[in-house]
Amino acid sequence: LSLDNALHHALERNEFLLFYQPQIDISKGTIVGMEALIRWQHPEHGLISPLNFIPLAEETGLIIEIGEWVVRTACLQNKAWQDMGLPHVQVSVNLSGFQFTPNLAPSILAILKESRLDPRYLELEITESTLMQNTEATLSTIKLLNDAGLNFAIDDFGTGYSSLSYLKRFPISTLKIDQSFVRDVTTDPSDAALTGAIIAMAHSLNINIIAEGVETIEQIDFLTRHHCNTMQGYYFSKPLPAEQFSRLLAEGI
């Protein structure tokens, strides 16, 4: 499967699309956010997962253009839904560490201006490894964007090699508890202890917490008892094409 050459043409051929997965506030029963997740609609191979082309995009440098397309599409879509009178919610976009160039902040600020989306409705998801590489430049980029009103979330929290000290150095709004902890949270005492500790730490640092990969009512019970009220996972909805997601946003969960 030679995707390398095809990936070069995928943008101009308009073959990428975004799916959206809701983030739920369980105490209110409402959608409070959505994560944008890229897919590649390949003419012969069908719908391709980002797992199969993001690494290639990173190797070839195409991640810069693809990443800008993702931010632009997510901002324009969110603004369009707001203008239609749908509930105003934050859209979260995944950033690769390779996107942290000196041009990242100016490019995102230009897209926000162009789309006229209020910056507080855009959240950027980064991983612990992104924070650990090249920290001074990364720190100034994050500070600049945070000063402009954007929020930052740490994705897959707890799975990376990193020092917790970045939680005081960087303006982080949200920690996303990785699915690998949530999966066995009701059966594995270590996962239960780690999840409880992450939630407690986030609360005491005044950082929002969101649990990923929530699939069962037992997981919801555990998380609720530990005061984690924001959740994302197949229990509520898998990632959906834009059209379907807008119906969910209109009708509620």
CB of 227 to Na ion, least distance (A): 20
- Nearest to ligand G of 38, 228 (CB atom): 38
N-terminal to C-terminal alpha carbon distance within the chain: 39
Q: What is the largest CA-CA distance in the chain?
A: 50
No. of helices (H) and no. of strands (E), the chain: 11, 10
Binding status of residue 35 toward Na ion by CB under 5 A? no
Work out whether the CA dihedral 82, 89, 240, 145 comes out positive or negative. Answer: positive
Binding status of residue 156 toward Na ion by CB under 5 A? yes
- Nearest to Na ion of 10, 177 (CB atom): 177
Q: Which amino acid is at 58?
A: E
CB of 35 to Na ion, least distance (A): 9
**Side-chain half-sphere CA neighbours of 187 within 13 A:** 4
Query: How is 135-183 classified by DSSP, letter by letter?
Result: HHHHHHHHHHHHHTT-EEEEEEETSSS--TTHHHHS---EEEE-HHHHH
CB of 85 to ligand G, least distance (A): 27
Please give the structure tokens belonging to residue 252: 């509620």
Q: Which residues bind ligand G (CB under 6 A)?
A: 21, 37-38, 49-51, 54, 70, 94, 96, 155-156, 179, 212-215, 233-234, 239
- Nearest to Mn ion of 17, 110 (CB atom): 17
CB of 17 to ligand G, least distance (A): 11
Q: State which of residues 68, 125, 128, 178 lies at the interface with Mn ion (CB under 5 A).
A: 125
Binding status of residue 155 toward Mn ion by CB under 5 A? yes
- Nearest to Mn ion of 94, 130 (CB atom): 94
Binding status of residue 125 toward Na ion by CB under 5 A? no
Applying CB under 5 A, the span of 13-21, 72-80, 147-155, 215-223 interacting with Mn ion comes to 147-155
CB of 214 to ligand G, least distance (A): 6
* Residues contacting 163, CB < 8 A, separation 6+: 132
| Alpha carbon distance 36, 71 (integer Å) | 9
CB of 70 to ligand G, least distance (A): 4
| Alpha carbon distance 143, 167 (integer Å) | 13
Q: Which residues bind Na ion (CB under 5 A)?
A: 155-156, 212
Q: Which residues bind Mn ion (CB under 5 A)?
A: 94, 125, 155
